Structures are given as C-alpha cells and as structure tokens.
A = this chain, B = another copy of it.
Amino acid sequence: MIEAFVLVVVKPGTEEKVYNALAGEKHIKEIYRVYGEYDIILRVEVENIGELDRFHDEILRRISNIEMTETLIASSYRG
C-alpha cells in the first residue's frame, strides 16, 4: 500500500466547493482546508503506483477549479 499527501491549489474563491467535491472520493482518507501556499491537503491511500496514476487521471480530472496538485509519497509513518 502507498500512502501519499496531495497538496492542492484551487482557483481563488472555490476552496469550499472543491473541498466538498473531493470529500466523498475513493482513496481520500482525510481532507483538510488550510491557509498558506496550498489550499487543501489530502491524505490518500492506494494499492500501488498504478492506482495513484488512476487517482489523478480519473478523480482529479472530474473536479473543476483545481489549478495545481503536488503529490508527496510517504515512506514512513508514526501516529
């Protein structure tokens, strides 16, 4: 399993709309609306890197007003 963070920048003024559109999507375990260089942070879990490709190709494409995403793949975790 691959765990990744997706840092999302949206069109100014669409933060809430994109946040709500993303909230129900498969593979998204947590979603935060944040202030700073990015607008939304997703924590995503996928089976493998091919599924991460499809997450971007299929899910992110369907949602309007996302201007940029930057995906950080995690190698270790402690909670």
Contact = CB atoms under 8 A, between A and B. Distances in A.
Interface of A: 3-5, 9, 12-17, 19, 23, 29-38, 41, 49-50, 52-53, 56-63, 66-79
B72 A38 contact: yes
Given A13-B58, A17-B57, 5 more contacts: A4-B35, A5-B32, A14-B61, A41-B74, A49-B73
A48 B51 CA distance: 17
A73 B76 contact: no
Nearest to A31: B78
A79 B32 CA distance: 9
A21 to B, nearest CB: 12
